[in-house]
Amino acid sequence: MLIAGTYNAHPLTTAAAIATVEKLADPKADVYGHVERLGATLEKGLNEIFAKKGRPFHVARQGSAYCVYFMDHVPVDFHDIAINHDFAFDKTYREKLITEGIFNFPTPIKQGSISYAHTEADIAETLEKTQKIVAAI
């Protein structure tokens, strides 16, 4: 069987894949624990910030992936989001994050991600700038 691809089995990409799997499996690196802790900190902070704003929201998070939905209940499916999510507020929120130096896809309802390279200081900065822009919009 042939599985075609530009870099399939190329030594460079194969070495990178092996190094990635080794890093993920290394208990000393604690990759999954690290991104889980940062994700929990971010989720808690976002919940506190948006609760003070007094507008409907829900922070959805799975490990290092998260999204803030601006609606008054936990999203059920995409149809529910399409009907109930405040897309205009979401777009403004994301654009203002970018102007503050925090990249978040400028398209509403797109997932944000935390990587192993992120630090507690990065999450603190994200929350600080989020608080600033949420207070202003």
Query: Does 20 reside within a domain?
Result: no
Give me the amino acid identity at 77.
D
Give the β-pairing of 112-113 and 58-62.
unpaired
pLDDT tens by residue, the chain, 137 residues: 666 677 777 788 889 989 999 999 999 999 999 999 999 999 999 999 999 988 999 999 999 999 999 999 999 999 999 999 999 999 999 999 999 999 988 888 899 999 999 999 999 999 999 999 999 99
pLDDT at residue number 4: 66
What pLDDT does 2 receive?
60
Inside any domain, residue 35:
yes
Phi-psi region of 8 (alpha: psi -120 to 50; beta: other; left: phi over 0): beta
Quick one: CA dihedral 113, 116, 30, 8, positive or negative?
A: positive
Domain-embedded: residue 83 = yes
The residue type found at 5 is G
Domain count, the chain: 1
Q: How far apart are CA 60 and CA 112, in angstroms?
A: 10
Can you give the pLDDT at residue 11? Answer: 85
Task: Answer whether residue 2 is part of any domain.
Answer: no
d(CA 72, CA 84): 8
**What is the C-alpha end-to-end distance of the chain, expressed in Å?**
56
Whether 8 maps to a domain, the answer reads no
* Residue located via tokens 């999203």: 75
Give the Cα-Cα-Cα angle 107, 73, 76 (nearest 5 degrees): 70
Evaluate whether residue 24 is within a structural domain.
no
Distance from C-alpha of 39 to C-alpha of 66, rounded to nearest angstrom: 8
What residues make up the domain containing 123? 29-136
pLDDT at position 8 is 74
In-domain check, residue 5? no
94 within a domain of the structure (yes/no): yes
CATH code at position 67 = 3.90.1150.10
